[in-house]
Structure 1
């Protein structure tokens, strides 16, 4: 069984009018090697592009914004990007409604070229049930290999930080034209959240991947007084299941 903390993490995002792509974990810590075994690095020919999560033996969930480059493979089974084995990406699925991250639907499903064996280094993470409600101020986790400061560099060792869920009405008041199907957590009066390179990673609450890292404000990671945005996974369960049977 996976430890509850092993299932907790998230990542972030992008947007227009001040919302931008996101990469790294701010004011977090290194993830113990026996936790978050579902974390995935989605890569192109040059290395890490964004985060993702393993939801079955041959499917990874990430952010649609990550498809701006030629994605080739994923790395699982390690928290250190200098290690691990690559598995090729066979196919990519994005919602038909997706146009750009600032308009929402920032979620993507990757079908792998093979089923990966689950073991003491690789595990899947649970997805929420349809209609699942996340409580305001609920403590959750986000993780990634992104920058640890606005002007910093990405990291090789996976890092995580705890963030609190923010009331959606407060989030709408802070963001102009907030996309639909979003969860807000982190940022907004705290010094914790994600940064460039963390997009596609999960927001994990009680061992369940409830969100996908999507956007923050103006590449500023340390930290603007506005909430970070995640794609609400519970709104896309039917779409995910339909692609998994193709």
Structure 2
């Protein structure tokens, strides 16, 4: 194999067999109003949604490192419907990719977005808690993934969608992925793998949320029939996050 980069066509794959960046919510539903107030729509200069993200402090959003390929310029916070109602648009001051990121095949698919101004926390905007360093997920634990990723016709919905997914045993996940690649060590698997639930295209960077805590970052997947969806494991990056966010160890 010559690496996944030749196959990772950002925002154009259809989840019919290709390996691709994380994407659309499969068999989900509209997120309830006044829920998931931490969700961020990461957008380009044309105002087009390109990735998901989530607010961890007033001025930092977490997303996937490969989202930088879409040249994001700002984030939108505070509204499930990107075309209606009040929301807060904030420019990205700085994009900080993990220094060891090469491509999704090799993991470390995480990026921090430093916002130009602090978000106004309140009834529509909240931060989400990150896990403790020793947090472990149970096999078959039910979590949620959400986003504004495209539907089957490659058109992104205006309203946030969410779906329940079950955590998959890490060893089983590695075995399922082994015909295509050696799964990165800092990965969590949930959804896909013989189910009809998970992500497929356009929702990269959004959070995998378990018990109200952001434990993973949408990274990549393949055909639902064969392999699980893959997320970056946030517990493996807590120190890196802490070192950037004002050197304040508030997540451990």
TM (normalized to structure 1)?
Answer: 0.89
Q: 2: CA distance between counterparts of 1:148 and 1:43? A: 17
Indicate the residue corresponding to 1:73 in structure 2.
74
Deviations 1:126-184 (A, max 9, x none): 000112111100000000001233x4421110000000000001100011211120000
Give the alignment partner of residue 181 of structure 1, picking from 173, 182, 186: 186
Q: 2: CA distance between counterparts of 1:61 and 1:85? A: 17
Aligned pairs for 1:25-64 within 5 A: 25-46=25-46, 47-64=48-65
1:126 is aligned to 2:129: yes
SS across alignment from 2:238: helix
Largest Rg, 1 or 2 = 2
Return the offset for 1:77: 0.3
Deviations 1:98-144 (A, max 9, x none): 01111100000011001111101000000001121111000000000
Q: Structure 1: where are the runs of 5+ without partners?
A: 1-14
Question: CA contact under 8 A between 1:19 and 1:102: conserved in structure 2?
Answer: no
Return the offset for 1:19: 2.3
Q: 2: CA distance between counterparts of 1:85 and 1:123? A: 12
Question: CA contact under 8 A between 1:186 and 1:193: conserved in structure 2?
Answer: yes
Q: 1: CA distance between counterparts of 2:234 and 2:77? A: 21
Indicate the residue corresponding to 1:96 in structure 2.
99
Question: CA contact under 8 A between 1:50 and 1:201: conserved in structure 2?
Answer: yes
SS across alignment from 1:171: helix
SS across alignment from 2:198: coil
Could you tell which deviates more after superposition, 135-144 or 81-90? 81-90
Deviations 1:161-214 (A, max 9, x none): 000000001100011211120000000111000121111000000000000000
Root mean square deviation, CA, Å = 1.3
Deviations 1:33-57 (A, max 9, x none): 1100000000101210100000010
Q: How many residues align?
A: 227
Question: Higher RCO, 1 or 2 (CA under 8 Å, sep at least 6)?
Answer: 1
Question: CA contact under 8 A between 1:62 and 1:108: conserved in structure 2?
Answer: yes
1:168 is aligned to 2:173: no
Q: 2: CA distance between counterparts of 1:170 and 1:37? A: 33
Question: CA contact under 8 A between 1:55 and 1:127: conserved in structure 2?
Answer: yes
Q: 2: CA distance between counterparts of 1:95 and 1:73? A: 19
Moved >2 Å (runs of 4+): 15-19
